[in-house]
Amino acid sequence: MTDGRNAAKRLITSTAERGHFLHGPYPATHFGPKACVLPNPTSVMHIQDPASQRLTWSKPPLNVLIIRKIRDETLLEPFKELCRFLVEEKHLMVYVEKKVVDDGSLMTDDSFSAIRNQLCTFREGYDDISDRIDLIICLGGDGTLLYASSLFQGSVPPVMAFHLGSLGFLTPFKFESFKTEVDKVFEGNAAIILRSRLRVKVVKGMFQRNEQLFSTQGNGIAPHNHINNEAGKITLQLQVLNEVVVDRGPSSYLSNVDLYLDGRLITSVLGDGVIVSTPTGSTAYAAAAGASMIHPNVPAIMVTPICPHSLSFRPIVVPAGVELMITLSPDARNTAWVSFDGRKRQEIQHGDSIKITTSCFPVPSICCHDLVYDWFDSLAQCLHWNIRKKQTRLTDNFIINQHALYNYYII
């Protein structure tokens, strides 16, 4: 019995040290200084029942970051109401971006000046607030959640998103009852969905510009001497929530890039480009390009071509644990361009590479109801999924006539 317990203990320890799903990296379950997923002591495998994904607080949250959609006057009043509630009633420290506080309408509002003076401000790219924030509250559309994700390149605090934008697929909460909803989150035990992100590296000069080196072995695997890690220079590392898009940019030529999976050349993409997306991103650009929509809890990476010059190039789904690499094909006539969640767009030239895999730092998005209902509700309300005119039922007289006609021919 003792040996059995020791073996079980070793199994749990080795699994924890390995830190991976059966099909991908095991995500971090601590979000910011005080939040984490409610531990499940009976679970040995790292594939958690979605119903058990509940938020708990090790200590009461003290610092809240508010992300507000800028250049939208309709959000001024909701923003001021939320700030008053958090500062005056909840006695919390509220962080906002400096350009939000410097808004002309807020600066001239004397009734809000006392609250404005208590707000902590920061500037993107200059001030690091990643280790100070306990909770993020978004006011706006899906873009506010994407922006919040970009501010935290490591562990992300829990995100509560209110639907005050145009689409609102990722923002399940309605602002009319914001006080009640925020109180529920502070009490803990709220349902959360762990939205996986992509860890992306852009490496400049990783490959030598040489036709012989660009050739592959007979089994499709790139020889080790293709890669010169010492020569390669990582110019950008990002955590991406929706998708990485590689396209042909302003060129009139087809994009021509090679796609590798765990070092093996899978295919070359000839077309307008290719989208590598998370399950969360499967309902964004990838859906417009013809991909399937995947629930965010599924550990996977999607590869979707953009207008491929091939009748047989269908979107594919690969396990979350693999590493994808995209490079320009040796015979490409032009460079390519890459963007990350629609931002930081840059040119990719011969010798450059883009490495993509699943990140261990997901975005813990707080659910309004639960992670299954919220997703299907968003499909129906925002994308009108499977909406059609209802088929009318048959009348009783029609059914009787059909039976009579059937019996007539049988007799």
Regarding pTM above 0.85, the answer is no
Query: Which residues in 160-183 are b (16+ Cβ under 10 Å) and which e?
Result: bbbbbbebbbbbbbebeebeebbe
- Our answer to whether residue 109 is catalytic in this structure is no
- Amino acid at site 327: T
The answer to whether the CB of 164 falls within 8 A of the CB of 92 is no
Q: What are the start and end residues of each CATH 3.40.50.10330 domain in the chain?
A: 54-195
The answer to whether the CB of 120 falls within 8 A of the CB of 93 is yes
Please tell me the chain's helix, strand, coil percentages from 3-state DSSP, rounded to the nearest 5.
30, 30, 40
Q: What are the start and end residues of each CATH 2.60.200.30 domain in the chain?
A: 198-207+231-361
- Is 299 exposed, middle or buried (CB count within 10 Å of its CB: 0-12, 13-18, 19+)? buried
Architecture of domain 54-195: 3-Layer(aba) Sandwich (3.40)
- Is 83 exposed, middle or buried (CB count within 10 Å of its CB: 0-12, 13-18, 19+)? buried
Separation of alpha carbons 237 and 11, rounded Å: 34
Which pLDDT belongs to residue 88?
Answer: 95
Which pLDDT belongs to residue 321?
Answer: 86
- The residue annotated as part of the active site, out of 134, 142, 247, 374, is 142
What beta strand segments (E) does 103-242 contain?
120-122, 135-140, 159-163, 190-195, 198-204, 233-240
Note down pLDDT in tens along the chain; length 411 residues: 444 433 333 232 333 333 444 445 667 778 888 888 777 654 444 555 666 789 999 999 999 999 998 888 899 999 999 999 999 999 999 999 999 988 878 888 888 999 999 999 999 989 999 999 999 999 999 999 999 999 999 999 999 999 998 888 999 999 999 999 999 999 998 999 999 999 999 998 865 444 433 444 444 444 433 344 445 687 889 999 999 999 999 999 999 999 999 999 999 999 999 999 999 999 999 999 999 999 999 999 999 999 999 999 999 999 998 999 999 999 999 999 999 999 999 999 999 999 999 999 999 999 999 888 899 999 999 999 998 888 887 777 777 777 777 776 776
The answer to whether the CB of 248 falls within 8 A of the CB of 273 is yes
Element (H, E) at 281: none
Query: Contacts by 10-17 with C-beta closer than 8 Å and gap 24+?
Result: 11/44, 12/44, 15/44, 15/45, 15/46
- State residue 101 phi and psi, 5-degree precision: -65, -30
Quickly list DSSP for 230-267. Answer: TT-EEEEEEEESSEEEEE-TT-SSPEEEEEEETTEEEE
Which pLDDT belongs to residue 6?
Answer: 39
- Tokens standing for 266? 């899978």
Q: Identify the CATH number of the domain defined by range 198-207+231-361.
A: 2.60.200.30
